[in-house]
Structure 1
Amino acid sequence: MKLPLFPLQMCILPHGYSKLRIFEPRYQRLVKESLKNDLGFGACMLDEDNKTLLPIGTRCNIVDFETLEDGLLGVTIKGVEKFELGTYTIENDGLKRGNVIPVPSWQVLPIAEHQQKYTQILQDLLNEYPEHISQYNLDNFMDLSWVCQRWIEILPISPSEKQHCIAANDPKPTLAMLNDVLK
């Protein structure tokens, strides 16, 4: 599958939501293309130097858009599925378009009693952002994989640390990191 790519300094994963401000013509074109097709676009994190696209990204759909107070385009995006980035090209206006291969999602896992703290702290944090938490179903907070993905999105860790967790076949590396961070 070939997708237009949006390099980001932030992370979005399947079932995650985020808002973006669109001002560069190449990304305005990406938005127009994404609204016309069912595939959406690929969101790829940049490395620590903001120069290199990291190899695991997320296919995203635009679920809402608005004109912001400053006149720029604002879009709300939702993560659909992870992918592995293959080769990509750079078009005349700088828009990157990459070949991507879908990566299986983490299996839905129930939250054990000793893991409830991850859910509770996450809910407390997200309650500070009512517009954001309203996008999520409360049942999601009972899925350990979903909870770990939300933590990866919001933790202030390096892109390479996030990429290490994202590239894993399950949330175990994320749980190990959470144990260290939330002590």
Structure 2
Amino acid sequence: MLTQEMALIIRDELLLPAGRVEIRVAGPSGLSLIAEVLKGHYALAFGMAKTDSIPPCYTIATQCEIIDFNLLDDGCLGVVLEGQQRVKILSASQRKDGNWIALTLGCHNWQQEPIKGEFELISAALEQFYRVNPALFELYSDLHLEDASWVSQRWLEVLPLYNRDKQVLVNQPDCHKTMDFVLELIKSHANHNI
């Protein structure tokens, strides 16, 4: 895989391939970064924040596309991003305007695989989660609830875990550890409610 320079958006949330997130962009430097991406000057990568680090994010990020944007009530820009490809940040530098530009190398995405057996429970639970969180649900035109990789990554994006703990699961070669983790969470939650 080839290296590529990418503009970095760093937030305290996780975006993985095929996932979607809406972010708020404010200020001249943030808006100019989005403009540079839209003009094709840079590809865009979304990194999860990491304190006391240069750049201030974890080394595994997600190349993403801007799929929609709108003006928010406070005058800021709301930008909807869709994750495309996992990338590793090899190096990064901060420009005078405060934005980060990173040299990245493409990584393998988790392979699609069917959800089977007791793991169908995490798929059903995710569908329920989206129904009670309509702002997230509205970001997706299709829910791929039959795909273990897709379901696992969506759970990693929304679970209230420390960023470092999410990174342990993100750095696995496939979705299996995440599937096991989420299934155990759901089972233990169900047992507490009995």
Deviation at 1:39, TM superposition (A): 5.9
RMSD: 1.6
Is structure 2 residue 39 aligned with structure 1 residue 33? Answer: no
User: In 2, distance between residues paired with 1:176 and 1:112?
Assistant: 12
Is structure 2 residue 10 aligned with structure 1 residue 7? Answer: yes
Deviation at 1:106, TM superposition (A): 0.7
Cα distance change, pair 148–100 in 1 and its aligned pair in 2 (3 A): same
Is structure 2 residue 169 aligned with structure 1 residue 137? Answer: no
Matched residue of 1:57: which SS? strand
Matched residue of 2:145: which SS? helix
Q: Check the 8 A contact 2:88/2:106 in 1, yes or no.
A: yes
Higher radius of gyration, 1 or 2: 2
Deviation at 1:38, TM superposition (A): 8.5
Cα distance change, pair 154–172 in 1 and its aligned pair in 2 (3 A): same
Find the partner of 1:21 among 19, 24, 47: 24
Aligned residue for 2:67? 63
Aligned residue for 2:99? 95
Compare 8-17 and 165-174 and name the one that shifted more.
165-174
The TM-score normalised by the length of structure 2 is 0.87
User: In 2, distance between residues paired with 1:164 and 1:37?
Assistant: 33
Structure 1 vs Structure 2: percent identity of aligned residues?
26
Deviation at 1:7, TM superposition (A): 1.0
The TM-score normalised by the length of structure 1 is 0.92
Matched residue of 1:34: which SS? helix
Could you list the runs of 5+ residues in structure 1 that have no partner in the other structure? none
Is structure 2 residue 45 aligned with structure 1 residue 42? Answer: yes
Q: Check the 8 A contact 2:7/2:42 in 1, yes or no.
A: no
Cα distance change, pair 145–39 in 1 and its aligned pair in 2 (3 A): farther
Is structure 2 residue 164 aligned with structure 1 residue 160? Answer: yes
Matched residue of 1:142: which SS? coil
Matched residue of 1:105: which SS? coil
Deviation at 1:167, TM superposition (A): 1.1
The residue type equivalent to 1:54 in the other structure is Y
